[in-house]
Structure 1
Amino acid sequence: MSFDQRMRERQGAGALGQPPEIILNETFNPFLNDSQSVNGSVPAYEILKIVILLPVAVVRVLVFVVSLLLGYLFTKLALFRARNVLTRPFPQWRRWLMLPVRLFARVNLFACGFHYIHIKGRPASREEAPILVSNHVTFADPLFLFFRHLPVIVTAYENLNLPIAGAITKAMQAIAVDRLSRESRHHASGAIKRKAMCNDWSHVMIFPEATTTNGKLLVSFKAGAFTPGYPVQPILFRYPHVHMDPSWVAEGPPINWLIFRLMTQFHNFMLVEYLPVIHPTVAERKNPIQFGERVRLTMARAMNTSVTNHTFEDAALAMEAVRLKIDSASAMLEFGEFKKIAPFTVKEAKRCLSEFVTMDCSKRGAVTYKEYIKAINLPDCLLLQQVYRYFDRVNCGHISFRQYAAGIAFISNHSRFKEAVKAAYDFCGGGGADSPDEATFLRSLRALIPSVSKQQVHSLFDKLDLKNGGILRRADFASYCDDHPDFLLLILIGKPSLL
């Protein structure tokens, strides 16, 4: 690379520098149900099967509903006058009252077509392994675990408020956690350790992926199951299928349609394998992430599959992609790897995805330079080409959501971001005692882009002037830069001497 090329590259990076390059796994979407992968349509032979088995499905639905309601009544009986359900272990007689509920859970699985469940391996006693961990594919996983172990589960806080299932979850003396709250996760980690160390509780059961996948690989593990430093027993769930994928994932199908499809199959297969207990080393007790990774790799080898750095946040993005009616695979960031750039939150990622979808006029998961300048409503010029090149690092002529999000995350979380916003505001005329008006903003922007029209500046100024007062306030300018870091990038690339 020549000296002039290096200088242009340095200038094109702007005063904040360029984000580090990351390699993301684009070969597989762990949140896609096979039955939904072809436009969500049902093949003709499956429709015929549904018609034939419809009378059987009606009986199965009745059995499912009746057993669910009976289980709920026995659960309410077990919880009658019970206090501090989530913090004090049940006496043995209350656990006995839950035995019929466990049997009803097996009836529910039978009604869903899981007539025979193949079990491999030996479940460890609580003394051997106080913590159980498992991959999470569908609603049948916790039903089986409830039937077989009646464990203390770690679940999302909102599940406690579900009708019927909420009461059963409380009867399992669950550890509730808000997956998006660091404080809640910290409290949950302490509760896991307290309940795992006391034999008055049942096994502690955790799905360390913190979300459901299609079972074809293992996504990133949360550290909660491994922080106490106790032995764990991994459990593997597999659902061999040809036509009907039972996975309940972010991209669908809805739970009611999933249960209906399972009930209109002749038989559904479930394989459950108990792996040998895994004991942490001295080093792994001090480093639970390392312990969790060893457990994950052990489970992946037993499943003959691979691992990725997708996380619960990617599942949330997949659901947002479904809402925006785009391919969820193009919205995957693989957060476990992506966070090496910057601490990007789900809220920020969703906002970034919404902006990207607005720019992607062709809806093909890639934004060209023409689409980009059309979306930001500014004229073609060398400066805008440099801004676009900031995202298109390999100069391929289009940017993916991952490339766009990488640039936005790096800028918005940069240590000098606030300093850059202040410098950019001063450049736009805010360095004096008064806030700049539209005419001052026009002169500043034309110093960067001489060909910009008054109408384009007026449209941009309207977005910046939130109170329609005819002036550009510092707080409004900072808020716009928070939501549109690429606007700040435009100023910094055009005037690298500001920082």
Structure 2
Amino acid sequence: MSAKFAAGISQIECDDTEPLINPFVHKLELHGTYEKIKTAIFTLILVPVRVGLICFFVVTAWMLATVGLFGVTEQELHERPLDGWRKTVLKPFIAKLIFCIYTLGGVKLKVIGRPSSSDEAPLVVLAPHSSFMDSIAMVYMGGPSIVARGETASIPFFGKLINYTQPIYVWRDDPESRQKTVKEIIKRSTSKLDWPQILIFPEGTCTNRSCLISFKNGAFYPGVPIQPVCIRYPNKLDTVTWTWEGPSALKLLWLTLTQPSSHCEVEFLPVYYPNDEEKRNPKLFANNVRAVMAKALGVPVVDYSYSDCKMMTKAKEMNLPFANHLVEVRKLRRKLGLIGTEREEALVRANNYTCRDCSKVTFIEFVEIMRLQTNEQAALQLFKIYDKNNTGLIDLRDYLLGVLATEEDKSTEEILVYAFMLYDIKRNGKLTAENFIKAVSQTLGISQEYGLQIFDQVDRKQLGFVRLDDFLNWATKFIPHLIYNGSEEKPNWKNLEIYRTHDKKID
């Protein structure tokens, strides 16, 4: 079947399928000369005034928070809530000062519904979490305690302000910290002491608000009433969304400050009272609350999570092809039943993919190689992710490398071995400069220029090719940090046997 005909099938069949959602990508561009000129003018006129006033209010609020926390130890902040003038006078005043900062920044807040008291709902969950601007809801509520990353405590000025809310810090890469966080949430939400409400972003990371991703269970373990809070930004130009792939926080802040006004809507939904089954099952509780919020927001729910963010970050650091789309690839592979089958790994290990030119694979060839059905919509969608120019052809190596390199149990050594096998076009255990550069740049995250330098150093005899074991021996001596991330223990390259066995079969 011709590539053009295969592309036609892919286009027709995919038009009626459910569109893929990638909540971790945000694109922001200024369109038109008018927008660019307006931004330039406001950068010169409006931004300096706003920044000056904002800095004044931040410093003032920080000074007041410093006074309020004077004489209070970290242990006391952790063990009992603030009381007296610190709670009734200073905390509301600081919250008003911070709210003024948003007003000075041009933010116009619209509030729908009524915030509950801590007696009605000890916990508040806010979603979708997409921006540093989401903290406006916390300020409007008077400064509830938040569950935040431990790193936020060290943010200049704002760290002190966050500390004043008596937050619950969590270190996301420390499993013990997560357990302690859950225990602290349960302790405070069921305590008889007058703790402030706890505000939690249950998604655990920022998205582009196109959907609600999986909620973490931490807020739902106590089994207490929860108030769901939805947040929206109905602006023509989205200058607030801060995702894993997109504009930096500094660029977003600059563009937001150049807007005459930015609109934000915060909707307080009715308090959600869990039934007995939900109290016993935090995951069910979380899913049901998410469904209520998704209905109010008019967006779908998608089972992405923070682990998908980490996977996408890893892929980007490695410079993998189509790194931004690998969360969608994983979802489609799950639909197709490929997750857990190790089918892609088996194909590469056994050299068992029969494409004549793996850089130009049609849809029909793709489904035959992957043993899929041609009428499966998910298979068509998966193919189209890699058919970026809509030519009806993909590079199968991009797909296989992306899948293998993002498996959780794969070491850098194994990934490098697979990359060499994929780019060993002649199947003779030798890589030319061009293919060597592709293999190392798309696994070790190095530039093509550096890859060429490495090739020249490994190929000292100027044979025009390098073998994998020659490169690994060279790398162990000269760039070990690329292979085993600075570990004191050198790798034993046990997985090199996969490649050597592959060579013997060819010979």
Picking from 125, 128, 145, the partner of 1:133 is 125
Which residue identity does 1:27 align to in structure 2? L
For the residue of structure 2 that corresponds to 1:128, the secondary structure is coil
Measure how far apart 1:149 and its partner are.
3.0
For the residue of structure 2 that corresponds to 1:50, the secondary structure is helix
CA pair 231-450 structure 1, distance change in 2 beyond 3 A: closer
> Within 1, Cα distance between the matches of 2:40 and 2:504?
65
| Aligned counterpart, 1:293 | 287
CA pair 319-413 structure 1, distance change in 2 beyond 3 A: closer
Question: Contact between 1:129 and 1:232, CA under 8 Å: does it hold in 2?
Answer: yes
Give the superposed CA RMSD: 4.1
Which residue identity does 1:105 align to in structure 2? I
Question: Contact between 1:137 and 1:237, CA under 8 Å: does it hold in 2?
Answer: no
> Within 2, Cα distance between the matches of 1:328 and 1:26?
19
| Aligned counterpart, 1:459 | 467
Question: Contact between 1:251 and 1:322, CA under 8 Å: does it hold in 2?
Answer: no
Picking from 242, 267, 273, the partner of 1:248 is 242
| Aligned counterpart, 2:47 | 57
Measure how far apart 1:187 and its partner are.
1.0
Is the aligned partner of 1:177 residue 2:173?
Answer: no
Structure 1 spans left out of the alignment, 5+ residues: 1-23, 345-351, 353-366, 373-384, 415-419, 421-448, 469-474
After TM superposition, the structure 1 = structure 2 runs for residues 417-428 of structure 1, keeping only pairs within 5 Å, are: none
Is the aligned partner of 1:149 residue 2:142?
Answer: yes
| Aligned counterpart, 1:164 | 157
Measure how far apart 1:88 and its partner are.
2.6
Question: Contact between 1:112 and 1:259, CA under 8 Å: does it hold in 2?
Answer: no
Which residue identity does 2:38 align to in structure 1? K
Is the aligned partner of 1:329 residue 2:324?
Answer: yes
Measure how far apart 1:338 and its partner are.
7.8
Question: Contact between 1:311 and 1:334, CA under 8 Å: does it hold in 2?
Answer: no
CA pair 127-401 structure 1, distance change in 2 beyond 3 A: farther
Q: Which moved more, 1:140-149 or 1:399-408?
A: 399-408
Picking from 253, 256, 263, the partner of 1:269 is 263
For the residue of structure 1 that corresponds to 2:266, the secondary structure is strand
> Within 2, Cα distance between the matches of 1:283 and 1:204?
23
Task: Kindly provide the CA deviation profile for residues 326-350 of structure 1, in whole angstroms up to 9, marking residues without a partner as x.
Answer: 76532325878989946x9xxxxxx
CA pair 326-259 structure 1, distance change in 2 beyond 3 A: farther
CA pair 409-313 structure 1, distance change in 2 beyond 3 A: closer
> Within 2, Cα distance between the matches of 1:336 and 1:93?
52
Measure how far apart 1:58 and its partner are.
2.2
Task: Kindly provide the CA deviation profile for residues 241-290 of structure 1, in whole angstroms up to 9, marking residues without a partner as x.
Answer: 11243212222322222222112212111111011111222122221111
CA pair 260-325 structure 1, distance change in 2 beyond 3 A: farther
> Within 1, Cα distance between the matches of 2:333 and 2:64?
46
CA pair 285-463 structure 1, distance change in 2 beyond 3 A: farther
Measure how far apart 1:240 and its partner are.
0.3
Is the aligned partner of 1:75 residue 2:68?
Answer: no
| Aligned counterpart, 2:180 | 187
CA pair 337-371 structure 1, distance change in 2 beyond 3 A: closer
Measure how far apart 1:189 and its partner are.
0.6
Question: Contact between 1:310 and 1:334, CA under 8 Å: does it hold in 2?
Answer: no
Is the aligned partner of 1:99 residue 2:92?
Answer: yes
Picking from 229, 238, 260, the partner of 1:235 is 229
Measure how far apart 1:126 and its partner are.
1.0
> Within 2, Cα distance between the matches of 1:110 and 1:410?
46
CA pair 369-90 structure 1, distance change in 2 beyond 3 A: farther
For the residue of structure 2 that corresponds to 1:82, the secondary structure is coil
Question: Contact between 2:430 and 2:468, CA under 8 Å: does it hold in 1?
Answer: no
CA pair 65-338 structure 1, distance change in 2 beyond 3 A: farther
Is the aligned partner of 1:119 residue 2:127?
Answer: no
| Aligned counterpart, 2:80 | 88
Question: Contact between 1:333 and 1:402, CA under 8 Å: does it hold in 2?
Answer: no
| Aligned counterpart, 1:21 | none
> Within 2, Cα distance between the matches of 1:70 and 1:205?
24
Question: Contact between 1:149 and 1:203, CA under 8 Å: does it hold in 2?
Answer: no
Measure how far apart 1:231 and its partner are.
1.1
Is the aligned partner of 1:66 residue 2:42?
Answer: no
Number of residue pairs aligned between Structure 1 and Structure 2: 390
> Within 2, Cα distance between the matches of 1:460 and 1:153?
50
| Aligned counterpart, 1:223 | 217
Measure how far apart 1:171 and its partner are.
1.1
| Aligned counterpart, 1:47 | 36
Question: Contact between 1:392 and 1:398, CA under 8 Å: does it hold in 2?
Answer: no
> Within 1, Cα distance between the matches of 2:143 and 2:35?
35
For the residue of structure 2 that corresponds to 1:201, the secondary structure is coil
> Within 2, Cα distance between the matches of 1:161 and 1:59?
27
> Within 2, Cα distance between the matches of 1:398 and 1:408?
16
Measure how far apart 1:86 and its partner are.
3.1
Which residue identity does 1:225 align to in structure 2? A
Q: Which moved more, 1:53-62 or 1:262-271?
A: 53-62
Measure how far apart 1:314 and its partner are.
2.9
> Within 1, Cα distance between the matches of 2:471 and 2:126?
49
| Aligned counterpart, 2:200 | 206
> Within 2, Cα distance between the matches of 1:370 and 1:281?
55
For the residue of structure 2 that corresponds to 1:108, the secondary structure is helix
Measure how far apart 1:99 and its partner are.
2.2
CA pair 463-262 structure 1, distance change in 2 beyond 3 A: same
Question: Contact between 1:130 and 1:230, CA under 8 Å: does it hold in 2?
Answer: yes
Question: Contact between 2:30 and 2:36, CA under 8 Å: does it hold in 1?
Answer: no
For the residue of structure 2 that corresponds to 1:81, the secondary structure is coil
Measure how far apart 1:47 and its partner are.
1.8
Measure how far apart 1:51 and its partner are.
3.7
CA pair 321-404 structure 1, distance change in 2 beyond 3 A: closer
Question: Contact between 1:102 and 1:150, CA under 8 Å: does it hold in 2?
Answer: yes
CA pair 397-132 structure 1, distance change in 2 beyond 3 A: same
Structure 2 spans left out of the alignment, 5+ residues: 1-16, 346-354, 374-378, 384-392, 415-425, 432-462, 478-488
Measure how far apart 1:87 and its partner are.
3.4
Measure how far apart 1:312 and its partner are.
1.9
Question: Contact between 1:310 and 1:335, CA under 8 Å: does it hold in 2?
Answer: no
Measure how far apart 1:476 and its partner are.
7.2
For the residue of structure 2 that corresponds to 1:176, the secondary structure is strand
After TM superposition, the structure 1 = structure 2 runs for residues 425-464 of structure 1, keeping only pairs within 5 Å, are: 451-452=428-429, 459-464=467-472
Measure how far apart 1:55 and its partner are.
1.9
Which residue identity does 1:134 align to in structure 2? L
